[in-house]
Amino acid sequence: MLLVTGGAGFIGSNVVAGLDEAGRGDIVVNDRFGTGENWRNLAKRRLADVIPPDDLIDWLDGRKLDAVIHMGAITDTTATDGDLVIATNFRLSLKLLDWCTTTRTPFIYASSAATYGDGAQGFADDWSSAALRRLRPLNLYGWSKHLFDLAVSERCAQGGPLPPQWVGLKFFNVFGPNEYHKGEMMSLVAKRFDEAKVGKPVRLFKSYREDIADGEQKRDFIYVDDVVAVVRWLLETPKISGIFNVGTGAARSFRDLIEAMFRALSREPNIEFIDMPPAMRERYQYFTQSDVENLRRAGYNGGFTPLEEAVTRYVTGFLDRPDRYR
């Protein structure tokens, strides 16, 4: 039996889909639904059980699991409720880490590229305590993820107890189906698709750096299928532990991303550049690019989908269809 926390969320539901498609019929999802639409992310899946977050710790008592895949978190980079974010992203993660340690259960968890802050220290996934301590996340979400990475790293360095397999995944700019409930946290492709579809221009922020043209701000965009492939490989390779970047290793511009979307729609690109809100200008990241050498050295050779192919797959397979869900 596998437990996927945050299993109704974006990455979590794609992990569930990948496992379900691979024939796993023993998947338990931990998430909350409320009155939202995130249940649709799981509507096509077989599930052994669905556990509300408030019941999770009690449910775990006496259980035997093949692995815990901990994707659950408050992922809003604009979140301001520090107590809630720490309780959800840090303290619950510690409880799950301790449970997996006691029960000898593999533990794979979501970290984030937000832990790198403005990128001044680079994007190498050196998970030594000394390297992690140099990072300065820019928001509460990033800090909460960084805090847990530090706790795990220091426990490892001190020879403390850990699960037989423990892996943190620093996800970069993931996009793909089932992200629709995320609102402003959706990828730019998902947010701007409907406008492009009806012929409206897509608006991108102007650049405020002389050495970077408008629309040439860059991110490491990775399709969610590639993320799922990494998770599945780790489940099949239990000897691997550590904290790894999960990106393509190739930064591409927002202009590239949106032009790929227009081409997938067989339309000429129609892009307008607008002023960035003043409050964002001093904290805006102009470049992120994962270093994936650690993942390669660990043995992962699955490759990553090129941006244009990934966007086309997303548009034609999901966004431009009546049913957009995986």
List active site positions. Answer: 141, 182
Q: Which residue has the tokens 């892996």?
A: 167
Around Cβ 125, how many Cβ atoms within 10 Å? Answer: 27
d(CA 161, CA 195) in angstroms, rounded, equals: 51
Instruction: Round the CA-based radius of gyration of the chain to a whole number and report it.
Output: 19
> For residue 216, with 0-12 CB atoms within 10 Å meaning exposed, 13-18 middle and 19 or more buried, which class applies?
middle
Rounded to whole angstroms, the Cα distance separating 106 from 236 reads: 11
Could you give the CA distance from residue 11 to residue 18 in angstroms, rounded to a whole number? 11
Taking each helix axis as running N to C, give the angle between helix 254-264 and helix 307-314, from 0 to 180 degrees, rounded to the nearest 10: 50
Nearest CA among 264, 276, 274, 254 for reference residue 318? 264
Phi-psi category of residue 62: left, alpha or beta, with phi > 0 → left and psi -120 to 50 → alpha: left
Best CA proximity match to 60, nearest among 122, 1, 135, 9: 1
Distance CA 150, CA 256 (A): 35
Residue of 165, 183, 194, 178 whose CA lies nearest to 227: 178
What is the C-alpha to C-alpha distance for residues 79 and 77, in angstroms, rounded to an integer? 6
